[in-house]
Structure 1
């Protein structure tokens, strides 16, 4: 079998659509509810990984994604919503989507934050129709979160991604290929 079958496409489409029923904030609640989730995520991040406080203060802006839900059975997808903050004030809301295929089975939820370390990186993100996470970002692991420092990381990459709070049973979480799109909650 060389191509994607209709059955496989329907199963993967159903998995992605099913994510909207997983309690990940997809089903409305408006800006106030999303901002409250972002506040809780920011507070958790700063409390659990103290080094991110300095990183936040030195960044041009931070995109907080409080809850990403990912599921897959050969074909998979992930979805979540969050807010871009500049000087800790929400300026835009974004959705994040991801599609994948390959050897995978399971589901997980996680949070992540993107720290834009330069004004240019932030401007490029905000000006795009749909920005895709790529290789230009530096990934920090949660155990680095307590010791990560803006001094050493700002010269390495214009965007620093931190994935944290994983729960579920898919091995690993990556943001590679995640597409971010501005939304109105």
Structure 2
């Protein structure tokens, strides 16, 4: 019985440690296909959530992950590549998002994520450390449709706003998750 309890307590710690590892991701150079997909995904977000367009006007940069895939059964994983755009639309870099989770969960899901970096400090923090781990670093607000409707230019006070959208598939559950965003070397 004690062995099972130790196993149950050890697995989440290993998952969190793996999600926060400093392992360098695969190298990716200039990726026109990923850039085009990211621009298309961002345009779809603006069509379905006009408030996101308002946020873009104030953001210093937008990090777009056009296709994140999450799958799991008790233990889950999530991964995908994205592009960071400057306020003027110039590509600032390519990034990888990965996450591990543990808990009551089952299924497979694809979705998109757009992360609006509202100030230079949030953007510099992402590039100055060896990746972001959600829960550490700048203040992040995850925006759904209800929150998006209530956002105004005077209520935008957080460092980062993350929109999750274009969800396909079925993923159900609850548990612990750690996400890491890392710049991909060229």
Alignment TM-score, normalising by the size of structure 1: 0.78
Structure 1 residue 115: deviation in Å?
A: 0.7
After superposition, give the CA deviation of every residue in 1:58-95 in whole Å (9 maximum; x if it has no partner). Answer: 10111001011000011110001001111211111000
Aligned to 1:166: 167
What count of residue pairs does the alignment treat as equivalent? 164
Aligned to 1:119: 120
CA RMSD in angstroms comes to 2.8
Greater fraction strand: 2
Aligned to 2:90: 89
* Higher-RCO chain (CA-CA 8 Å, sequence separation at least 6): 2
Residues 104 and 175, structure 2, Cα contact 8 Å, conserved in 1: no
Aligned to 2:48: 48
Aligned to 2:179: 178
Aligned to 1:15: none
Alignment TM-score, normalising by the size of structure 2: 0.78
For structure 2, the 5+ residue unaligned runs are 16-25
Greater mean alpha carbon deviation, residues 64-73 or residues 123-132: 123-132
- What is the SS of the residue equivalent to 1:150? coil
Residues 142 and 163, structure 1, Cα contact 8 Å, conserved in 2: no
Aligned to 2:153: 150
CA distance in 1, matches of 2:60, 2:175: 23
Is 1:32 the equivalent of 2:35?
no
For structure 1, the 5+ residue unaligned runs are 13-25
* CA gap 1:103/1:174 in 2 versus in 1, 3 angstroms: closer
CA distance in 2, matches of 1:120, 1:174: 30
